[in-house]
Amino acid sequence: MSETISLEKVVIKFAGDSGDGMQLAGTLFTDTAAILGNQIATFPDFPSEIRAPQGTVAGVSGFQINFGSSGVHSPGDSPDVLVAMNPAALKANMHNLKPACTVILDGDSFSKKDWEKAGFSANPLEDNSLSDYTVIVAPVTSLTKTNLADLGLDNKAADRCKNMFALGLIYWLFNLPTDQTIQFYEQKFANKPGVKDANIRALRAGINYGEIIQAHTSTYSILPADTKPGLYRNITGNQATAWGLMAAANKVNRDLFLGTYPITPATDILHELSKHKWNGIKIFQAEDEIAGICSAIGASFGGNVAVTTTSGPGMALKTEAIGLAVMTELPLVIVNVQRGGPSTGLPTKTEQSDLSEAIYGRPGDSPLAVIAASTPADCFDWAYEAVRIAVEHVTPVILLSESYIANGAEPWRIKDMKDLPEIKIDQSGAIDSWKPYSRDNNKKSRVWVNAGMKGFEHRIGGLEKESESGNVSYSPKNHEEMCKQRREKIDAIADYIPLQKYKGKNADKLLVVGWGGQFGILLGAVMHLQEKGKNIAFTNFNYIKPLPKNTAEIFSKFETILVCELNDGQFADYLRAELPQFSYVQFNKMQGQPFTIEELCDKFNQILEK
């Protein structure tokens, strides 16, 4: 009988063709780990081509999960266990395998034709290229079909269950229960008992295979994390964004309106909100990006909490209408789930490539607020905050997410509505003294007045407004004055956001600066070096435009400021413009992949040793 070893954390990657069900296997594993109370970070990685040739590296789909009892800040640099359903999946991941990695392969997929198509010059099962790893070659496909033979499924339907055989083998390896996965199939396919029974039987067959052949000398267990008491659910970044928008609209007692056009990787926000239309949610799937945002602007004028969602290419199409929202000074949340660019670029890969577009990408002087989410779960908080800023400061707000956290998942402690911050709508002012573009003395914002309110009728549109009256004005001095007022309104938001924090109060040599969704990986790398006694600190920005008021104070404490981001230096350039008194060193990556802790630590050490 194999020995059971307790581990703090483990990285597992499921990889195979797009049709092999790797995303589902990874998701079901994640749900099980979440139920058991583990810390979780995931990274689904999709091929960019919709129908890449089967069996090729271009068509490999992967799902990586890091789960454990503590210290889980990222999906992990490289897997401890790789499940590769074909030679292409092995080929795509061999460069990233650590010594002693456990590699589970479907032996039925390693014919000469298969490994040649994947780009191997010889059969990797026979040429010693896997000698550094613990390799389990299981006849996954044939055993799956054998175990399902009496169910009357056709060959294709039976083949689709092999991902559950592989998942069962992983459950055996880590001594995990199958209850959550079985419940999933019982609920999802309650009306298709043949499909339900086939997948559950394949799952159990994988467990039985591991037990019978004792494929590994040891099995493993992961203890639950020490988490704050409460009700938790597993949540992706896009789901959390949708829930944060719903919660904010509920808090201000307004309907939520989503005007959008589907685009990868933002579409799942639309899908999630579509499930909750009973909850005062209105959804308009427009014919294009322009119609989507214009409908949202109209909904905001009508008194709704208005949102539009997109990615980089869609932002380009929305540009003119974003300028309209700036000119009309209406609350609007624009969610940009970033992907690799430019143009169609890398539609399924992650990048932080739209920051400059968010800050500057409009005609004229048209400032607006820009914030960014950090993790899948905190997409809820930043979506909520985007609505708060938009409503309280009567301005468009761009919320930047990115594919890495939008599709990634982690446990989220469900919040009680009464514990969420208040969102206050300023509708002060008597009818006889009210003017549509008169401003709050502190926030510099106008009052958000619903269309149709008697005595508060006013004109909106893209032409320049006369200060206070809102009438169309072509006066040069008025135009300059209104540009200044719109800028001052955004600048004033800095008085209503928290001060910036950093980790490493005793450090003064190197400050690592990040923003948005690379937070967990950067934090993990910095903490690793801090534990070794290195003179290093870390700060991650969520408030981008405007910056927190104490940013310069923090920067002044350090000899070197290193800005790390998944682009060619957009945040570094922005900091140079906003705070030119400091020098900035850059570390940039543009490969469609997040940072790894190893490459970050190498860079940090390189700077610290100079």
What superfamily would CATH give domain 3-222? Pyruvate-ferredoxin oxidoreductase, PFOR, domain III (3.40.920.10)
pLDDT tens, residue by residue, 416-464: 999 999 999 876 655 677 899 999 889 999 999 888 888 888 888 999 9
At 483 the pLDDT is 97
Structure tokens at 423: 């969102």
Listed in order, the ranges of the chain carrying CATH 3.40.50.920 are: 510-608
At 217 the pLDDT is 57
In sequence order, which ranges of 78-192 are alpha helices (DSSP H)? 87-93, 112-117, 140-147, 155-159, 162-173, 179-188
pLDDT tens, residue by residue, 237-270: 999 999 999 999 999 999 999 999 999 999 999 9
Is the CB of residue 20 less than 8 Å from the CB of residue 61?
yes
At 481 the pLDDT is 97
CB atoms within 10 A of CB 131: 7
At 227 the pLDDT is 82
- The rounded distance, in Å, linking the Cα atoms of 225 and 289 is 43
Strand 102-106: give its sheet, edge to edge: 39-45, 60-68, 9-17, 81-84, 102-106, 134-138
The closest alpha carbon to 308, from 338, 329, 284, 341, belongs to: 284
At 215 the pLDDT is 58
The closest alpha carbon to 403, from 345, 355, 351, belongs to: 351
Is the CB of residue 402 less than 8 Å from the CB of residue 352?
yes
pLDDT tens, residue by residue, 333-349: 999 999 999 999 999 99
At 431 the pLDDT is 67
pLDDT tens, residue by residue, 181-219: 999 999 999 999 999 999 999 999 999 999 888 755 567
Listed in order, the ranges of the chain carrying CATH 3.40.50.970 are: 233-419
- The rounded distance, in Å, linking the Cα atoms of 83 and 28 is 15
Determine the average pLDDT of the residues in 598-604: 97
Q: Which residues make Cβ contacts (< 8 Å) with residue 377, sequence separation at least 6?
A: 235, 237, 240, 410, 411, 412, 413
Q: What single letter denotes the amino acid at residue 433? A: S
Listed in order, the ranges of the chain carrying CATH 3.40.920.10 are: 3-222
The closest alpha carbon to 314, from 276, 346, 359, 354, belongs to: 354
Architecture (CATH level 2) of domain 510-608: 3-Layer(aba) Sandwich (3.40)
Determine the average pLDDT of the residues in 283-308: 97
Is the CB of residue 317 less than 8 Å from the CB of residue 288?
yes
At 547 the pLDDT is 98
Q: Which residues make Cβ contacts (< 8 Å) with residue 419, sequence separation at least 6?
A: none
pLDDT above 90 (res 606) = yes
At 451 the pLDDT is 84
- The rounded distance, in Å, linking the Cα atoms of 498 and 132 is 50
- The rounded distance, in Å, linking the Cα atoms of 507 and 554 is 11
- DSSP secondary structure code for residue 78 in this structure: S
At 272 the pLDDT is 97
Q: Of residues 138 and 450, which shows the higher confidence score?
A: 138
CATH topology of domain 233-419: Rossmann fold (3.40.50)
pLDDT tens, residue by residue, 347-387: 999 999 999 999 999 999 999 999 999 999 999 999 999 99
Q: Of residues 147 and 434, which shows the higher confidence score?
A: 147
pLDDT tens, residue by residue, 512-550: 999 999 999 999 999 999 999 999 999 999 999 999 999
pLDDT above 70 (res 52) = yes
Burial of residue 246 (number of CB atoms within 10 Å: 0-12, 13-18, 19+): buried
At 598 the pLDDT is 95
pTM over the 0.85 mark = yes
- The rounded distance, in Å, linking the Cα atoms of 148 and 166 is 15
pLDDT tens, residue by residue, 403-417: 999 999 999 999 999
How does the average pLDDT of the chain come out, rounded?
Answer: 94
Angle at 414 between CA 413 and CA 420, to 5 degrees: 110
- The rounded distance, in Å, linking the Cα atoms of 355 and 339 is 11
Burial of residue 476 (number of CB atoms within 10 Å: 0-12, 13-18, 19+): exposed
Which helix (H) or strand (E) element contains residue 13? strand 9-17
- The rounded distance, in Å, linking the Cα atoms of 17 and 300 is 44
Is the CB of residue 319 less than 8 Å from the CB of residue 362?
yes
- The rounded distance, in Å, linking the Cα atoms of 237 and 47 is 20
pLDDT above 70 (res 473) = yes
Which of 151-160, 252-261, 555-564, 582-591 has the least mean pLDDT? 151-160
Determine the average pLDDT of the residues in 27-37: 93
Which helix (H) or strand (E) element contains residue 102? strand 102-106
